[in-house]
């Protein structure tokens, strides 16, 4: 049988290895609540949700070229959709999570409509203005506590799906069972996020996205609809960010406009995670979130010094290693765990060298 | 009559926002750089003024004259050693560096001065007012608006009547060709940021004497400044003044209806302008 003249592939040997390792890690993470204490589960919940936010910001800024400083709009609005639908309509909190994503998606449509009128850096502040508007409007919403916020009603917590099952299987109290449930949901969201983004970047649309980022005019000239790509990325990121926001405040149990729309917590930290780890790669935010968590564990007691250090590290990385820690590792070792570069094999190339294994 | 008063107060408040915005507009006009730490630099200047006033016992206006060269040096150094390295076609590095700077400045101030809100004492000026026709206006707000007009006139003169201004315009149009004519773009950029920081000092003088401030209020000032610049149209200094006044009037009108709506009304006015005139009211620049 004739082999096709050319073969385009992205997979490398390390990435196959990485995929197997990742699958093992996910299995371990699923069964972890059986062995781990509540503190570790809560830490991992924090890491997973921050990583989800970081991956979506990275998709926006690193791949879509859309530097948003207003992602807290979607975290906050998603979280408020959850609390609103639980408190006002008595929805089950787990079902209401979906509304977090949908609500953020709906907010993203007018946001994009306004913010896309602004170019480059002004887009960044434009998204910030929308986030402020969302915060100020939500603070007027009396039935979810107005400016002071509110708590998840006790009845709603008690009816959450799966909690009694977790209680009986792991023999834990209901509060610990809710943490385990939130942890599993965060894990599922994380796997879906990384898997989904990786899949997207390897499709034709992902190629178009990279083309738009690298040179918009050139991409347009070969038929890529740049405006549509930006809309797509912005809406996907809003949906995922809203889901994460809903989940974070479901686990938190308490919400207020200032915490839900916090630019430091949901945008500044996320930006530092991506920049420190390496923007424009899937591996970068993973490294970044681990560094971020380590710094936070070690230095959180020092209050503002911790933030000064984080900001300082971000500046130094941007000045001297703009591709972040993963960029340094990847340059030295050539390792790519989630390769998206298309490499050509087969055809005339194959005549000169040995046919590669993919054939 | 109350509405006339509200609108006059709004126009005067707009002077303050125009002062916030003038430095931002200047830097963007020359090097296409949006400084996300602009608001925090205003707050930094306000603390600098507070220190000078309380340590040397100077009048705030004299203290501003002392602070101006210091802020010029900070701006010059910041541009020369940090921001010049990240200028380029890619907008990501300057945005992220200035965003990091914003977080650093806020927390350094928090560490140095605590989170308590402060105010620069201005003596009897704080409460002085004079009647103009049917309304009474505070002297400080009036001085703010006059200073904003003065700053814009001075910047216009600098841009169109001096050799430094010619260098600014040349570098803004085409840094490479300007370089061939013996202009050093890197130095021109540093001088521009230095001048922007002098304007920031003037803005800080009025911010600090008219109301309380604390280390965290910078980002909100950045947003007002940005809204004024966009409403006015990129590259137009008089447009920036008009933009500041629109935000100011919208805020006082909103506050007159419901005190909780003050900030929201300003943002909504901005979004409305963005909706009907995406390039601002008086667009000049082509980018």
Q: Which of residues 231-290 of A touch B (CB under 8 A)?
A: 263-264, 268, 271-272, 275, 279
Global ipTM? 0.88
Distance (Å, whole) CA B233 – CA B227? 10
Distance (Å, whole) CA A324 – CA B223? 29
DSSP string, A121-185: HHHHHHHHHHHHHHHHHHTT-GGGTTTT-EE--HHHHHT-TTHHHHHHHHT--HHHHHHHHHHHH
For chain B, what percent of residues have pLDDT higher than 90?
A: 65
Q: Is the dihedral of CA B190, B195, B199, B201 positive or negative?
A: positive
Distance (Å, whole) CA A277 – CA A211? 23
Answer whether residue B267 is part of any domain: yes
Question: What is the model's pLDDT at position B1?
Answer: 67
What chain B residue is nearest to A146 in terms of C-alpha separation?
B260
Question: What is the model's pLDDT at position A223?
Answer: 84
- Chain B CB contacts of A69 under 8 Å are 36, 99
Question: What is the model's pLDDT at position A236?
Answer: 95
Answer whether residue B284 is part of any domain: no
**How does pLDDT run across B76-125, given as a tens digit for each residue?**
999 999 999 988 878 888 988 999 999 999 999 999 998 899 999 888 88
Answer whether residue B246 is part of any domain: yes
Closest CB from B34, B97, B264 relative to A137: B264
Q: Is B138 helix (H, G, I), strand (E, B) or coil?
A: strand
Distance (Å, whole) CA B154 – CA A231? 42
CA-wise closest residue to B215 among B60, B108, B95: B108
Count the Cβ atoms, other than its own, within 10 Å of residue B209.
24
- Chain B CB contacts of A312 under 8 Å are 100, 104
Distance (Å, whole) CA A326 – CA B72? 37
What confidence tier does B240 reach under pLDDT thresholds 50, 70, 90?
A: very high
**How does pLDDT run across A167-203, given as a tens digit for each residue?**
888 888 888 888 999 999 999 999 999 999 999 988 8
Closest CB from B34, B82, B85 relative to A121: B34
**How does pLDDT run across A117-167, given as a tens digit for each residue?**
887 778 888 899 999 999 999 998 888 888 888 888 888 887 788 888 888
Answer whether residue B66 is part of any domain: yes
Q: Judge contact between B155 and B162, C-beta under 8 A.
A: no
Question: What is the model's pLDDT at position A299?
Answer: 82
Distance (Å, whole) CA A134 – CA B6? 26
Answer whether residue B285 is part of any domain: no
Q: Judge contact between B267 and A136, C-beta under 8 A.
A: yes
Give burial (CB, 10 Å; 0-12/13-18/19+) of A93: buried
pLDDT, mean of residues B166-193: 89
What chain B residue is nearest to A274 in terms of C-alpha separation?
B96
Better-scored residue on pLDDT, A47 or A216: A47
DSSP string, B96-108: HHHHHHHHHHHHH
pLDDT at A356 over 70: no
**How does pLDDT run across A250-273, given as a tens digit for each residue?**
999 899 999 999 998 999 999 999
Distance (Å, whole) CA A89 – CA A95? 12
Count the Cβ atoms, other than its own, within 10 Å of residue B166.
15
Rounded to the nearest angstrom, the gap between the alpha carbon of residue B72 and the centroid of all alpha carbons in its chain is: 14
Distances (CA, A) of B214 to A75, B116, B224: 26, 6, 17
Instruction: Decide if A319 and B111 are in contact by the 8 Å CB cutoff.
Output: no
pLDDT at A344 over 90: no
pLDDT at A102 over 90: yes
DSSP string, A294-314: HHHHHHGGGTHHHHHHHHHHH
Q: Judge contact between A175 and A154, C-beta under 8 A.
A: no
Answer whether residue B286 is part of any domain: no
List the domains of chain A with CATH numbers. Answer: 7-348 (1.10.3470)
pLDDT, mean of residues A95-111: 94
pLDDT at A242 over 70: yes
pLDDT at A325 over 70: yes
- Chain A CB contacts of B102 under 8 Å are 311
What confidence tier does A225 reach under pLDDT thresholds 50, 70, 90?
A: confident
Question: What is the model's pLDDT at position A251?
Answer: 92
pLDDT, mean of residues B43-71: 95
pLDDT at B287 over 60: no
Contacts of A137 (CB under 8 A, 6+ apart): B264
DSSP string, A15-28: HHHHHHHHHHHHHH
Distance (Å, whole) CA B257 – CA B268? 14
Give CA angle at A255 (A254, A261), nearest 5°: 150
- Chain B CB contacts of A126 under 8 Å are 230, 274
To the nearest whole Å, the CA of A312 is away from the closest chain B CA by: 7
Q: Judge contact between A55 and A193, C-beta under 8 A.
A: yes
Distance (Å, whole) CA B173 – CA B168? 9
Instruction: Write the CATH number for B109.
Output: 1.10.3470
Distance (Å, whole) CA A230 – CA A209? 8
- Chain B CB contacts of A275 under 8 Å are 96
What chain A residue is nearest to B271 in terms of C-alpha separation?
A114
Answer whether residue B283 is part of any domain: no
Better-scored residue on pLDDT, B204 or A322: B204
Better-scored residue on pLDDT, A5 or A300: A300
Question: What is the model's pLDDT at position A208?
Answer: 87
pLDDT at A354 over 50: no
Residue A132 touches chain B, beta carbons under 8 Å: yes
pLDDT at B284 over 80: no
Q: Judge contact between B45 and B204, C-beta under 8 A.
A: yes
Distance (Å, whole) CA A205 – CA B118? 53
pLDDT, mean of residues A317-343: 84
Q: Which two tokens stand for residue B236?
A: 């137009």
Q: Is the dihedral of CA B90, A70, A275, B27 positive or negative?
A: positive
| Structural domain boundaries, residue B136 | 2-115+125-276
What confidence tier does A358 reach under pLDDT thresholds 50, 70, 90?
A: very low
pLDDT at B254 over 80: yes
Count contacts between A and B (CB, < 8 Å). Answer: 115
Instruction: Decide if A308 and B219 are in contact by the 8 Å CB cutoff.
Output: no
Pick from B95, B220, B230 the residue to mutate for testing the A interface (most A CBs within 10 Å).
Answer: B95
pLDDT, mean of residues A67-84: 94
Q: Which two tokens stand for residue B136?
A: 């009474």
The rounded mean pLDDT for chain A is: 87
Q: Judge contact between A50 and A273, C-beta under 8 A.
A: yes
3-state helix, strand, coil in chain B (%, to 5): 80, 5, 20
pLDDT at A333 over 50: yes
Instruction: Decide if A129 and B33 are in contact by the 8 Å CB cutoff.
Output: no
- Chain A CB contacts of B86 under 8 Å are 318-319
Answer whether residue B23 is part of any domain: yes
Distance (Å, whole) CA A133 – CA B246? 17
pLDDT at B58 over 80: yes
- How many domains are there within chain B? 1
């Amino acid at each position: 049988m004739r082999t096709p003249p050319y073969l385009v592939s992205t997979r490398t040997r390390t990435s196959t290895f990485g995929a197997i390792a990742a699958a093992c890690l996910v299995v371990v993470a699923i069964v972890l609540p059986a062995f781990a204490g509540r503190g570790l589960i809560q830490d991992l919940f924090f890491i997973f949700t921050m990583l989800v936010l970081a991956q979506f910001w990275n998709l926006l800024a690193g791949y879509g070229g859309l530097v948003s400083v207003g992602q807290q709009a979607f975290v906050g609005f998603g979280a408020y959709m959850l609390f609103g639908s639980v408190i006002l309509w008595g929805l089950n909190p787990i079902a209401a999570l979906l509304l977090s994503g949908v609500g953020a998606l709906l907010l993203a449509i007018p946001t994009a409509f306004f913010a896309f009128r602004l170019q480059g850096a002004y887009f960044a502040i434009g998204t910030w203005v929308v986030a402020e508007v969302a915060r100020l409007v939500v603070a007027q919403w009396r039935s979810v506590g107005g400016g002071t916020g509110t708590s998840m009603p006790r009845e709603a917590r008690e009816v959450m799906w799966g909690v009694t099952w977790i209680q009986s299987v792991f023999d834990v109290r209901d509060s610990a069972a809710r943490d385990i449930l939130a942890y599993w949901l965060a894990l599922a969201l994380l796997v879906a996020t990384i898997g989904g983004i990786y899949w997207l970047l390897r499709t034709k649309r992902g190629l178009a996205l990279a083309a738009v980022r690298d040179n918009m005019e050139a991409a347009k000239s070969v038929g890529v609809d740049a405006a549509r790509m930006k809309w797509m990325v912005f809406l996907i990121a809003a949906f995922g960010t809203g889901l994460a926001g809903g989940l974070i405040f479901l686990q938190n149990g308490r919400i207020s406009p200032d915490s839900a729309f916090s630019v430091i917590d949901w945008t500044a930290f996320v930006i530092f995670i991506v920049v420190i780890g390496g923007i424009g790669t899937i591996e970068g935010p993973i490294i970044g979130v681990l560094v971020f968590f380590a710094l936070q564990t070690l230095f959180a007691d020092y209050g503002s010094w911790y933030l000064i250090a984080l900001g300082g590290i971000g500046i130094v990385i941007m000045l001297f290693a703009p591709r972040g820690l993963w960029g340094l590792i990847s340059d030295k070792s050539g390792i790519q765990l989630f390769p998206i570069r298309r490499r050509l094999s087969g055809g005339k190339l194959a005549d000169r060298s040995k046919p590669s294994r993919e054939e | 009559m109350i509405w006339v008063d509200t609108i006059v107060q709004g126009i005067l408040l707009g002077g303050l926002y125009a002062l916030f915005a003038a430095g931002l507009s200047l830097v963007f006009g020359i090097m296409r750089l949006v400084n996300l730490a602009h608001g925090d630099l205003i707050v930094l200047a306000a603390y600098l003024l507070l220190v000078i006033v309380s340590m040397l016992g100077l009048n705030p206006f004299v203290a501003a004259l002392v602070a101006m060269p210091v802020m010029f040096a900070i701006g010059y150094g910041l541009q020369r050693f940090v921001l010049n390295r990240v200028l380029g076609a890619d907008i990501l590095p300057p945005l992220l560096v200035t965003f990091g700077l914003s977080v650093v400045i806020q927390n350094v101030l928090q560490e140095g001065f605590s989170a308590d809100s402060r105010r620069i004492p201005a003596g009897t000026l704080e409460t002085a007012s004079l009647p103009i026709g049917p309304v009474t206006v505070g002297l400080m707000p009036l001085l703010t608006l006059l200073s904003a007009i003065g700053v814009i006139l001075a910047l216009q003169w600098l841009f169109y009547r001096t050799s430094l201004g010619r260098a600014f315009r040349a570098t803004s149009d085409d840094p490479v060709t300007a370089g061939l004519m013996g202009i050093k773009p890197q130095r021109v950029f540093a001088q521009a940021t230095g001048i922007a920081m002098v304007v920031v000092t003037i803005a800080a003088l009025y911010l600090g004497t008219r109301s309380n401030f604390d280390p965290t209020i910078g980002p909100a000032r950045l947003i007002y400044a940005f809204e004024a610049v966009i409403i006015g149209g990129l590259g137009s200094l008089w447009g920036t003044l008009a933009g500041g006044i629109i935000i100011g009037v919208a805020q006082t009108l909103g506050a007159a209806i419901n005190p909780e709506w003050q900030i929201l009304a300003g943002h909504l006015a901005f979004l409305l302008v963005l909706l009907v005139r995406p390039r601002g009211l008086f667009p000049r620049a082509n980018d």
